[in-house]
């Protein structure tokens, strides 16, 4: 049976790095271009469909339409409400992804389609704070197993399959909506004009040989480090609005985790963003988010390991891959206007 569908946007490409991948102006460190020299990131198509009925799985988050004829045999819970909209939430979803994907869609649905209860994994405290701030928390239905919803309103990002493969998408305009609403509700507060958004864990899944040196160097340069996963700044806990205010007050942000790229949206236009990436393993999400939010993106490429990734883990390493942050490259990226 054909489902009702509204296309909000078609998949397209984003030309990242408006000034080009210029060495020592945009790209620092190794003399190779990131992304294989390509300047196009993927922007998702966005469409809304109604599944009657639909199934939502909280972790890992997934939704699908159900065939009404087979629903009686399945092992899933029943939603307490007849109509709901699924949301990607919970501890498995980074805050940056939650704000730019799940929350943005929930807000658009509420403002444009109407009030619909949200259904998804129980939100983290920061996610709950965002839902509260946008008055979306009261109708939230937390689930811990696959749940059937009689009428599910599903707004999804679609990247467009190529030869049967679904490519990753990096950013789109609708990711701005919830961020702008939260940003409007805070007054910028300058904890430091330079902030590093970094996890205690190394870049992506890498071991970083000089992590302690880099941390010390950042501190000596007056860069304040925020851990967006733990929502901490030094020994202090950080509320969501604190995080938004601190980023809004910054003029330069160092970031190494593409999954938190959405948080950059709290920065005001023109803020310098210095991405730390590993050569050959670059991810365009941060660059794409900078284009969508009018931020000034630079990247520092660090050397990739020379050994084959199919080898056993090197002695003394906690992960297979290892790199060393190019501190001189980061210093240059911070200095260049």
Partner 1 sequence: MSNPSDPLTESAHFDADTLTAVHGLAAWGNACFNPAAPDSVFHHAPNRVIGTWSHFLGGGARQPGADLGHAETAVCELAGVSAVSLAGALLDPTSMTILSPARGFYAPSGGSHAVLRCESSSQYDGVVTPVAGVDIHDIRHFLYKGLPSAVMLRGMLGPRLLVAGPVLQPWQAELLAALGLDQGYFSIAEPTRFTRIIATDMMRPEPPSRFARGAIDRLRFRFGQDHVRTRRLLIGDGQKAWGDDWSAIEAEAEDFGFEPVDLAPLSMAERARLFASATAVIGPSGAALALVGFCDPGTAILELQTTALLEGWTRVLCAVFGLEWYNLIISMSDITGETLLDRGSLRICLKNMVGAA
Q: How many CA atoms lie less than 13 Å away from 127 in the CB half-sphere?
A: 28
Q: How far is the CB of 285 from partner 1 (least distance, A)?
A: 14
Query: Could you say whether residue 174 binds partner 1 (CB under 8 A)?
Result: yes
Neighbours of 199 (CB within 10 A): 16
Site string for partner 1, 61-100 (x = CB under 8 A): ----------------------------------------
Provide the angle, in degrees to the nearest 10, between the axes of the packed helices 211-220 and 327-335: 30
Q: Which two tokens stand for residue 87?
A: 């949301």
Q: Pick between residue 269 and residue 316 the one whose CB is nearest to partner 1.
A: 269
Q: How far is the CB of 37 from partner 1 (least distance, A)?
A: 18
Alpha-carbon span 81 to 138, nearest angstrom: 14
Query: Could you say whether residue 242 binds partner 1 (CB under 8 A)?
Result: no
Dihedral over alpha carbons 252, 258, 261, 267 (to 10 degrees): 0
The residues facing 118 across adjacent strands are 85, 140
Query: Could you say whether residue 184 binds partner 1 (CB under 8 A)?
Result: yes
Handedness of CA 180, 201, 87, 50 (dihedral sign): positive
Query: Could you say whether residue 269 binds partner 1 (CB under 8 A)?
Result: yes
* Residues between 101 and 120 with contacts to partner 1, criterion CB under 8 A: 108, 111-112
Residue with tokens 């701030």: 133
Query: Could you say whether residue 186 binds partner 1 (CB under 8 A)?
Result: yes
Site string for partner 1, 275-314 (x = CB under 8 A): ----------------xxxx-x------------------
In the sheet that holds 62-65, the strands lie side by side as 62-65, 54-57, 147-149, 77-78
Query: Could you say whether residue 173 binds partner 1 (CB under 8 A)?
Result: yes
Closest C-alpha to 153, from 196, 197, 110: 110
Asked if residue 293 lies in contact with residue 230, where contact means CB atoms within 8 angstroms, the answer is no
Among 164, 270, 312, 316, binds partner 1 (CB under 8 A): 270
Query: Could you say whether residue 183 binds partner 1 (CB under 8 A)?
Result: yes
The stretch among 60-68, 94-102, 168-176, 256-264 that binds partner 1 (CB under 8 A) is 168-176
Among 3, 18, 23, 64, binds partner 1 (CB under 8 A): 18
Residues that bind partner 1 (CB under 8 A): 6-10, 12-15, 18-19, 43, 46, 108, 111-112, 133-135, 171-174, 176-177, 180-181, 183-188, 241, 248, 268-270, 291-294, 296
């Amino acid at each position: 049976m054909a489902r009702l569908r509204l296309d909000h946007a078609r998949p397209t490409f984003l030309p990242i790095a408006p000034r080009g991948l210029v060495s020592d102006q945009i790209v620092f460190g190794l003399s190779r271009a990131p992304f294989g020299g390509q300047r196009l990131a993927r922007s998702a198509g966005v469409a809304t469909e109604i599944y009657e009925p639909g199934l939502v799985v909280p972790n890992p988050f997934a939704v699908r339409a159900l065939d009404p004829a087979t629903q009686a045999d399945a092992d899933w819970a029943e939603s307490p409400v007849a109509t709901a909209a699924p949301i990607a939430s919970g501890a498995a979803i980074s805050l940056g992804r939650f704000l730019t994907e799940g929350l943005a869609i929930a807000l658009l649905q509420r403002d444009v389609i109407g009030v619909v209860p949200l259904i998804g994994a129980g939100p983290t405290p920061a996610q709950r704070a965002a839902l509260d701030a946008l008055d979306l928390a009261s109708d939230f239905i937390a689930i811990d197993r696959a749940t059937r919803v009689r009428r599910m309103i599903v707004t999804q990002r679609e990247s467009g399959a190529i030869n049967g493969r679904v490519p990753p998408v990096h950013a789109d305009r609708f990711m701005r909506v919830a961020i702008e609403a939260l940003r409007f509700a805070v007054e910028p507060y300058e904890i430091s004009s330079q902030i590093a958004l970094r996890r205690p864990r190394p870049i992506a899944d890498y071991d970083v040989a000089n992590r302690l040196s880099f941390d010390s160097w950042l501190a000596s340069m007056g860069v304040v480090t925020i851990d967006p996963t733990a929502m901490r700044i030094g020994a202090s806990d950080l509320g969501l609005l604190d995080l938004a205010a601190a980023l809004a007050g910054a003029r330069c942000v160092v970031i190494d985790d593409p999954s938190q790229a959405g948080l950059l949206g709290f920065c005001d236009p023109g803020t310098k963003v210095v991405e730390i990436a590993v050569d050959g393993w670059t991810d365009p999400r941060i660059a794409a988010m900078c284009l969508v939010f009018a931020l000034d993106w630079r990247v520092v490429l660090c050397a990739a390991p020379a050994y084959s990734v199919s080898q056993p883990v090197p002695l003394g390493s906690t992960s297979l891959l290892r790199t060393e942050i190019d501190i001189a490259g980061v210093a240059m990226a911070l200095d260049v206007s």
